[in-house]
């Protein structure tokens, strides 16, 4: 938990939240799991993947990490909402959507 994080329960008093509801850090939404929205999930077949990386920029949830060696990693299922854009963007059919 962030040191700037405050109680935001519905009964919280305004004096107990940050002044003007400021947020003092960047990228804190990374603590929120949006993967539980998913009804179908993408699965990659590493034998078919040619590392063209065309899937990675088309992801709305930053769920396709590109590693320091320039290769894509496995899906970040913590954020992936299962929209299926990556499966359609893949020219080699390496990504399939499964229940």
Interface with other proteins (CB under 8 A): 4-6, 8, 17-18, 21, 23, 25-34, 37-38, 53-54, 56-63, 66-68, 70, 76, 78-79, 81-85, 87-89, 97
C-beta closer to other proteins: residue 44 or 61: 61
Q: How far is the CB of 22 from other proteins (least distance, A)?
A: 9
Q: How far apart are CA 55 and CA 64, in angstroms?
A: 8
The answer to whether 79 and 62 have CB atoms below 8 angstroms apart is yes
Q: Dihedral sign, CA of 79, 25, 3, 16?
A: negative
Q: Determine how many CB atoms are found less than 10 A away from the CB of residue 80.
A: 21
C-beta closer to other proteins: residue 23 or 43: 23
C-beta closer to other proteins: residue 40 or 48: 40
The answer to whether 87 and 42 have CB atoms below 8 angstroms apart is yes
Q: Is 95 helix (H, G, I), strand (E, B) or coil?
A: strand
C-beta closer to other proteins: residue 45 or 60: 60
């Amino acid at each position: 938990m962030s040191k700037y994080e405050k109680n935001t329960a519905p009964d919280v008093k305004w004096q107990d939240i940050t002044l003007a509801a400021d947020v003092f850090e960047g990228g804190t939404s990374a603590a929120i799991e949006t993967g539980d929205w998913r009804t179908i999930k993408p699965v990659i077949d590493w034998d078919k993947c040619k590392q063209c990386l065309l899937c990675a920029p088309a992801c709305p949830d930053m769920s396709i990490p590109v590693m320091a060696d320039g290769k894509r990693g496995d899906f970040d299922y913590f954020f992936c909402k299962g929209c299926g854009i990556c499966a359609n963007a893949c020219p080699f059919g390496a990504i399939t959507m499964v229940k």
